[in-house]
């Protein structure tokens, strides 16, 4: 079985490349968004995808052209950019890389919240100290704080926040279960009461639907979106913030050129980008790619 890796070969360690070559008949690295070599190859194969190489898309039309594809191993935790249901119908396993950047992402989310609390976006644009009323910052201590989504990142974030806002001031909403009933709060009550709201959900129809109506978000709320796929929600919240209908919004974006006037903090998609997280990512990804040949781990379909 062959292995095609859409990633820079230099991103893997020498040991990781050696073990991949020990497990596959041939390992081919492709460092550009070009599938012609795979389309022409009729042998059994596994494909590993770095989303930055393929432009965060791997369409059904592309998959349809690939013969004898057994598995698609994504480098990311999120897998919404591949049609997993379509792959399942064709007998193609899709895997992801879970939990590699939990701490890194939680720390970035906390940094973004503190930036909003301290009116950092206003001072960045001002370029100097300003004593006007709108520049007066807030303490996060004792601020009622909600987390929408309570997976690994949400739980880690809750742990961090306990020492900042206080144990009794942290709550969460999760659609599927209530892992900690003492912290659980309904979504409608949360957006009415919380001063800070962290969005750490996975993107799907149900999670996006929570934000169809943002009219009930309270005026003091500062929203931090650290989840992928919610940029449309973030932009709508930014419009609300510019009308002074909420206290602030922070999110990641590929477009850093747009200029905002109020407490809106936009950063690159770099939450995962720490030395520790990258080491974890390639270790887990390598192990997952090896498993895909016979008994796949980290399956998402």
Pick one of 3.40.50.720, 3.30.559.10, 3.30.2350.10, 3.20.140.10 as the CATH number of 102-267.
3.40.50.720
Q: Is the per-residue pLDDT at 5 higher than 70?
A: yes
Cβ-contact 5, 37 below 8 angstroms: no
Higher pLDDT, 177 or 109: 109
Residue 121, pLDDT score = 97
How confident is the model over 145-190, as pLDDT tens digits? 999 999 999 999 999 999 999 999 999 998 776 667 668 999 999 9
Residue 178, pLDDT score = 66
Average pLDDT over residues 206-227: 95
Asked if the 2-100+275-291 domain carries CATH number 3.40.50.300, the reply is: no
Helix, strand, or coil here: 33?
coil
Cβ-contact 267, 257 below 8 angstroms: no
Q: Is the per-residue pLDDT at 209 higher than 90?
A: yes
What is the average pLDDT value for the chain, to the nearest integer? 95
Distance, CA of 230 to CA of 210 (rounded, Å): 11
Q: Is the per-residue pLDDT at 285 higher than 70?
A: yes
Cβ-contact 67, 38 below 8 angstroms: no
- Please choose, from the candidates 43, 97, 100, the residue with its C-alpha nearest in 3D space to the C-alpha of residue 66: 43
Q: What letter would DSSP give residue 299?
A: B
Give me the residue spans of the domains in the chain: 2-100+275-291, 102-267
Residue with tokens 């009415």: 192
Distance, CA of 95 to CA of 99 (rounded, Å): 13
pLDDT band at 55 (very low <50, low <70, confident <90, very high): very high
- 2-100+275-291 and 102-267 have identical folds: yes
Residue 301, pLDDT score = 95
Range in 92-96, 198-202, 274-278 with the lowest mean pLDDT: 198-202
């Amino acid at each position: 079985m062959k292995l095609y890796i859409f990633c820079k070969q230099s991103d893997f360690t020498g040991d990781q490349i050696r073990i991949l070559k020990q497990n596959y008949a041939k390992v081919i690295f492709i460092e550009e968004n070009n599938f012609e070599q795979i389309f022409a190859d009729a042998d059994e194969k596994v494909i590993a995808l770095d989303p930055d190489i393929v432009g965060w898309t791997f369409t059904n039309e592309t998959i349809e052209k690939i013969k004898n594809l057994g598995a698609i191993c994504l480098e990311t935790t999120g897998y919404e950019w591949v049609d997993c249901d379509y792959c399942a119908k064709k007998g193609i396993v899709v895997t992801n890389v879970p939990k590699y950047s939990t701490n890194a992402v939680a720390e970035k989310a906390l940094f973004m919240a503190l930036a909003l609390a301290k009116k950092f976006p206003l001072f960045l644009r001002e370029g100097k100290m300003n004593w006007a009323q709108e520049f007066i910052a807030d303490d996060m201590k004792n601020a009622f704080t909600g987390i929408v989504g309570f997976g690994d990142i949400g739980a880690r974030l809750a742990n961090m926040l306990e020492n900042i806002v206080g144990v009794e001031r942290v709550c969460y909403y999760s659609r599927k279960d209530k892992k900690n009933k003492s912290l659980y709060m309904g979504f409608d009550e949360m957006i009415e009461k919380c001063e800070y709201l962290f969005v750490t959900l996975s993107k799907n129809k149900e999670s996006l639907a929570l934000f169809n109506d943002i009219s009930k978000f309270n005026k003091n709320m500062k929203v931090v979106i650290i989840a992928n796929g919610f940029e449309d929600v973030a932009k709508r919240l930014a419009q609300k913030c510019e009308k002074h209908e909420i206290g602030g919004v922070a999110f990641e974006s590929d477009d850093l050129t747009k200029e905002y006037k109020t407490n809106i903090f936009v950063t690159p998609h770099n939450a995962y980008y720490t030395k520790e997280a990258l080491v974890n990512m390639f270790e887990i990804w390598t192990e997952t790619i090896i498993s895909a040949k016979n008994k796949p781990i980290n399956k998402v379909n």
